[in-house]
Amino acid sequence: MIHTVLAYLTCPMCGQALATDAGQIRCPDGHAYDLARGGHLTLTTGRATGIPGDSADMVRSREAFFAGGHYSALADQLSSVIQGTTMETGRIGAEPVVVDIGAGPGYYLAHLLNLCPDAVGLAMDVSTYALRRAARAHPRIGAVGVDVRGPLPVRTGTASVILDVFAPRNATEMHRILRPDGYLVIVTPTARHLAGLVGPLGLITVDERKPERLRAKLGESFVRRERLTLDLDMSLTTYDLLHLVMMGPTAHHRRAADIQAIIEERWPNGATPTASFAIEVYEPRPA
């Protein structure tokens, strides 16, 4: 619920604290924000972002794919990495705040909170459809609509952990909202990710030089502590394959009916693609 994280949020217009007032969320200067019936709060300045957030169909595909347990090993690995790192150092402290950038329906964040009973989660995304799901994904999640590529309406030094799974990265803002003893955990696809599906289905792929650019950009604000890879050999039905494709960026450019036709012709009995992820843990450089 949003009141779980309200103390950590700031007004996107003036940067002041927010509080509940007469059914709205307000700052001392009177900037007011309505809490959606779905339970999420949108904190934007009204300027167009140009970000194509997940559509309702994309979110439904994402939830259906997650419900099949196909990425549960990734959720488990993320939780293990975060718990192992924080327990090893003892630096996460009491009442940790986990900020999930581009959280989607909150699948990974909810999984982590189930294992961390003292933590609260802040799910940030631009998609209203995703935020509705994230707001209900766990009772200790507060879901906030925001352009994650711009200034984040979060108090400086709030986050114990920042989680970024296949989402845009604003290194400057991430460094600002992260505690000096906190951790940034980023998940990106490797070159092996769904390699057998890319050509036949015309999937949108990541620029081969993007990891290099990512390291250069993050290097100004963060020091990498750890990197590991996770490969998942999946057994998917034709419906699973369709959901896998239509929950990602390819859905902005291709019709589901066209993708389904290719899948049914090429893999009428399903397929066994490999999902491949790089998980990196960063510490903030001193300001």
pLDDT digits (tens, 9 = 90+) for 125-147: 999 999 999 999 999 999 999 99
Write the pLDDT tens digit of every residue in 240-272.
999 999 999 888 888 999 999 999 999 999 999
- As given in the structure block, the two tokens for residue 234 are 């999946």
CA-CA-CA-CA dihedral for 55, 103, 212, 251, to nearest 10: -20
Check residues 160 and 205 and name the one with the higher pLDDT: 160
CA distance 6 to 258: 43
* Summary count for the chain: helices (H), strands (E): 9, 11
pTM above 0.95, yes or no: no
In one letter, which amino acid is 153? P
48-284 fold: Rossmann fold (3.40.50)
Q: Three-class SS of residue 191? A: coil
Is 3 exposed, middle or buried (CB count within 10 Å of its CB: 0-12, 13-18, 19+)?
exposed
What are the beta bridge partners of residue 32? Answer: 26
Maximum separation of any 2 CA atoms in the chain, in Å: 60
- The DSSP letter of residue 4 is G
Q: How many residues does the chain have?
A: 287
Write the pLDDT tens digit of every residue in 27-59.
999 999 988 888 899 998 765 555 668 999 999
* Cα–Cα separations (whole angstroms), residue 9 to 73, 117, 127, 259: 31, 21, 19, 41
Q: Please give the mean pLDDT across all residues of the chain.
A: 90
